[in-house]
Homo-oligomer: A and B are copies of this chain.
Amino acid sequence: MKISTSDRAQVLTQALPYIKQYAGKTVVIKYGGNAMISNGLKSAVMEDIVLLSTVGIRVVLVHGGGPEINEVLAKLGKQPKFIGGLRYTDEETMEVVQMVLAGKVNKELVQRLEQQGGRAIGLCGLDGGMIKAVKMEGEHDLGLVGDITSVDVTLIRNSLDNGTVPVIATIAAGENDDRVYNINADIAASQIASALCAEKLVLMTDVRGLLRDKDDEDTLISVVNVSEVPSLKKKGIIKGGMIPKIDCCVEAVRRGVKRTHIIDGRIEHSILIEMLTDEGIGTMFL
């Protein structure tokens, strides 16, 4: 159905001030979940990123790539191994993780953005010493899974200054050794956003946002002040897989990112809607 002239005018008069507000500002988007699997959603995400970048918003795209890693491991006859939901990464697996994230997924995203008319550059934590890490300490030995010790955003800044969208695969160089470490992409995105003093961090997920009642989408909480998070955890509203994601949001806000968002990647153009309309989507932390 055709959209009327006055509806068009209304959408535009609403969006323009947002464009003005975000122009020249930095937005870090963690790309993952269904939005990375469905071909239609993938296209819409790429389109959104190119459009935002087109009007002068500095977009940084951070990605993981679990399903693709498993696929290559399978071809090599290697069984993925998870401990407490985290991938156990031995040396051979790490080599595959690096090749798939930095050589396959990363470059495919770059090529798609370029095909949409954008300008993109594929980077990983090794480039320019961007991300340094040490072996993660914890209950279980996870092999080459790393904890970030420092983030150097020089290359990211240079890329943004040159009008290019940096696409970042989350592997890191050892702070104290010559190894390469596998890094959780949500955490990397959060820390990169902090280091860039980003305006926004957007985590794309497969849920509507934070729900008061997880079975009822109408109970979506639109805005959470980070000081409320402990009480929401105590009440069991924040729980399970949402905990680490929301911790990333809280941490980013605490370190200076203005606003962080958990949005539903399953909705087409969710990024555009979130950024350029009064409505918003998902849950915002501030």
Contact = CB atoms under 8 A, between A and B. Distances in A.
Contact of A98 (B15, B107, B121, B267): B107
A147 interface: no
Given A101-B103, A114-B126, A126-B122, A3 B12 contact: no
A191 interface: no
A63 interface: no
Interface residues of A, number: 67
A149 interface: no
A111 B55 contact: no
Contacts of A55: 16, 19-20, 23, 55
Nearest to A122: B127
A263 interface: no
A155 B12 contact: no
Contact of A120 (B6, B98, B127, B279): B127
A103 B155 CA distance: 18
A259 to B, nearest CB: 20
A86 interface: no
A95 interface: yes
Interface of A is mostly: helix
Contacts of A268: 6, 9
A111 B51 contact: no
A124 to B, nearest CB: 6
Interface string A255-268: 00000000000011
A271 to B, nearest CB: 10
Contact of A126 (B7, B98, B107): B107
The 7 closest A-B pairs by CB, nearest first: A103-B103, A9-B269, A99-B103, A99-B99, A11-B11, A102-B103, A16-B51
